[in-house]
Amino acid sequence: MKVEDRYVNFTDLSGPLSDALGRERLSSEVLVTHLHTLIRAPYELLDDYCQDYQNSMPTRQLRDEMRSQDWHPIASIIRNAVSHNFRLKLDRVRNKLPLTWRTITISADMDGQPLSSMTFWHKPGYELFLEMQAFAEALPELPPKQP
Protein backbone atom coordinates (compact mmCIF):
# COMPACT_ATOMS: atom_id res chain seq x y z
CA MET A 1 0.00 0.00 0.00
CA LYS A 2 1.31 3.44 -0.87
CA VAL A 3 1.02 6.08 1.85
CA GLU A 4 2.27 9.50 0.80
CA ASP A 5 5.73 8.76 -0.64
CA ARG A 6 6.25 5.42 1.08
CA TYR A 7 5.12 1.87 0.56
CA VAL A 8 3.86 0.00 3.59
CA ASN A 9 4.50 -3.72 3.45
CA PHE A 10 1.86 -6.07 4.85
CA THR A 11 4.15 -9.09 5.24
CA ASP A 12 3.68 -8.77 9.02
CA LEU A 13 0.09 -9.94 8.44
CA SER A 14 0.95 -12.92 6.25
CA GLY A 15 1.92 -15.07 9.23
CA PRO A 16 -1.21 -14.43 11.32
CA LEU A 17 -3.47 -14.78 8.28
CA SER A 18 -2.00 -18.16 7.36
CA ASP A 19 -3.62 -20.11 10.20
CA ALA A 20 -6.99 -20.22 11.99
CA LEU A 21 -5.61 -19.08 15.36
CA GLY A 22 -3.90 -16.09 13.76
CA ARG A 23 -7.05 -15.12 11.89
CA GLU A 24 -9.04 -15.39 15.14
CA ARG A 25 -6.55 -13.13 16.94
CA LEU A 26 -6.71 -10.53 14.16
CA SER A 27 -10.50 -10.63 14.13
CA SER A 28 -10.49 -10.13 17.91
CA GLU A 29 -8.36 -7.01 17.44
CA VAL A 30 -10.84 -5.73 14.87
CA LEU A 31 -13.69 -6.38 17.33
CA VAL A 32 -11.90 -4.49 20.12
CA THR A 33 -11.25 -1.50 17.88
CA HIS A 34 -14.76 -1.57 16.43
CA LEU A 35 -16.49 -1.68 19.80
CA HIS A 36 -14.19 0.89 21.35
CA THR A 37 -14.87 3.33 18.53
CA LEU A 38 -18.60 2.74 18.17
CA ILE A 39 -19.69 2.03 21.74
CA ARG A 40 -17.20 2.80 24.51
CA ALA A 41 -16.04 6.27 23.51
CA PRO A 42 -19.48 7.61 22.45
CA TYR A 43 -21.11 6.12 25.57
CA GLU A 44 -18.64 7.86 27.85
CA LEU A 45 -18.97 11.16 25.97
CA LEU A 46 -22.76 11.00 26.24
CA ASP A 47 -22.61 10.17 29.94
CA ASP A 48 -20.17 13.02 30.62
CA TYR A 49 -22.26 15.48 28.62
CA CYS A 50 -25.43 14.50 30.47
CA GLN A 51 -23.64 14.91 33.80
CA ASP A 52 -22.21 18.30 32.81
CA TYR A 53 -25.66 19.46 31.71
CA GLN A 54 -27.21 18.34 35.01
CA ASN A 55 -24.51 20.16 36.94
CA SER A 56 -25.37 23.40 35.17
CA MET A 57 -29.14 22.83 34.81
CA PRO A 58 -30.30 20.57 37.68
CA THR A 59 -33.93 20.87 36.61
CA ARG A 60 -33.41 18.35 33.81
CA GLN A 61 -31.96 14.96 34.65
CA LEU A 62 -30.31 14.00 31.35
CA ARG A 63 -28.44 11.04 32.83
CA ASP A 64 -31.75 9.54 33.94
CA GLU A 65 -33.13 10.19 30.46
CA MET A 66 -30.12 8.41 28.94
CA ARG A 67 -30.45 5.49 31.33
CA SER A 68 -34.14 5.11 30.47
CA GLN A 69 -33.41 4.50 26.77
CA ASP A 70 -34.08 0.94 25.59
CA TRP A 71 -30.52 0.67 24.24
CA HIS A 72 -28.83 1.83 27.45
CA PRO A 73 -28.54 -1.48 29.38
CA ILE A 74 -26.87 -3.24 26.45
CA ALA A 75 -24.62 -0.24 25.73
CA SER A 76 -23.56 -0.13 29.37
CA ILE A 77 -22.71 -3.84 29.44
CA ILE A 78 -20.75 -3.64 26.18
CA ARG A 79 -18.97 -0.47 27.33
CA ASN A 80 -17.92 -2.16 30.58
CA ALA A 81 -16.68 -5.28 28.80
CA VAL A 82 -14.64 -3.25 26.30
CA SER A 83 -13.25 -1.04 29.08
CA HIS A 84 -12.11 -3.85 31.32
CA ASN A 85 -11.13 -7.39 30.47
CA PHE A 86 -13.47 -7.95 27.50
CA ARG A 87 -15.65 -10.22 29.61
CA LEU A 88 -19.30 -9.69 30.34
CA LYS A 89 -19.78 -8.66 33.96
CA LEU A 90 -23.44 -8.74 34.89
CA ASP A 91 -23.52 -8.17 38.67
CA ARG A 92 -25.23 -4.76 38.39
CA VAL A 93 -28.01 -6.02 36.13
CA ARG A 94 -28.48 -9.58 37.40
CA ASN A 95 -32.02 -8.87 38.67
CA LYS A 96 -33.01 -7.54 35.20
CA LEU A 97 -31.72 -10.49 33.15
CA PRO A 98 -32.29 -11.53 30.49
CA LEU A 99 -31.91 -8.20 28.70
CA THR A 100 -32.87 -7.96 25.06
CA TRP A 101 -32.33 -5.16 22.60
CA ARG A 102 -33.17 -5.87 18.98
CA THR A 103 -31.38 -9.13 18.13
CA ILE A 104 -29.08 -9.13 21.17
CA THR A 105 -29.96 -10.97 24.37
CA ILE A 106 -27.73 -10.95 27.43
CA SER A 107 -28.60 -13.73 29.87
CA ALA A 108 -27.31 -14.75 33.30
CA ASP A 109 -25.35 -17.70 31.88
CA MET A 110 -23.19 -15.22 29.94
CA ASP A 111 -21.75 -13.69 33.14
CA GLY A 112 -17.96 -13.84 33.02
CA GLN A 113 -17.92 -15.03 29.41
CA PRO A 114 -15.70 -13.25 26.89
CA LEU A 115 -17.35 -10.81 24.54
CA SER A 116 -17.00 -12.29 21.07
CA SER A 117 -18.24 -11.89 17.56
CA MET A 118 -20.90 -14.47 18.45
CA THR A 119 -22.21 -12.16 21.19
CA PHE A 120 -21.96 -8.75 19.61
CA TRP A 121 -20.53 -7.79 16.24
CA HIS A 122 -20.63 -5.24 13.41
CA LYS A 123 -24.32 -4.87 12.60
CA PRO A 124 -25.67 -4.58 16.16
CA GLY A 125 -22.65 -2.47 17.10
CA TYR A 126 -23.41 0.02 14.38
CA GLU A 127 -27.14 -0.06 15.15
CA LEU A 128 -26.38 0.70 18.79
CA PHE A 129 -24.07 3.53 17.76
CA LEU A 130 -26.86 5.02 15.62
CA GLU A 131 -29.27 4.87 18.58
CA MET A 132 -26.75 6.71 20.77
CA GLN A 133 -26.14 9.22 17.98
CA ALA A 134 -29.87 9.93 17.64
CA PHE A 135 -30.09 10.47 21.40
CA ALA A 136 -27.09 12.81 21.30
CA GLU A 137 -28.50 14.84 18.43
CA ALA A 138 -31.69 15.47 20.42
CA LEU A 139 -29.84 16.73 23.51
CA PRO A 140 -30.11 20.39 24.48
CA GLU A 141 -27.11 22.69 24.17
CA LEU A 142 -25.07 23.21 27.30
CA PRO A 143 -25.80 26.65 28.74
CA PRO A 144 -22.90 29.12 28.64
CA LYS A 145 -20.62 29.04 31.66
CA GLN A 146 -21.11 31.81 34.14
CA PRO A 147 -18.03 34.00 34.70
pLDDT of residue 40: 93
> How far apart, in Å, are the Cα atoms of 33 and each of 39, 91, 109, 111?
10, 25, 26, 22
DSSP helix/strand/coil, 27: helix
Answer whether residue 47 shows pLDDT above 80. Answer: yes
Per-residue DSSP letter, 3: E
Q: How many other C-beta atoms lie within 10 A of the C-beta of residue 91?
A: 6
Ranges 11-20, 98-107, 138-147: which has the least confidence:
11-20
Higher pLDDT, 17 or 130: 130
pTM for the model stands at: 0.78
Mean pLDDT of 6-33: 68
Predicted confidence band of residue 104 (pLDDT cuts 50, 70, 90) = very high
Answer whether residue 6 shows pLDDT above 70. Answer: yes
Closest CA to 99 of 65, 73, 72, 131: 73
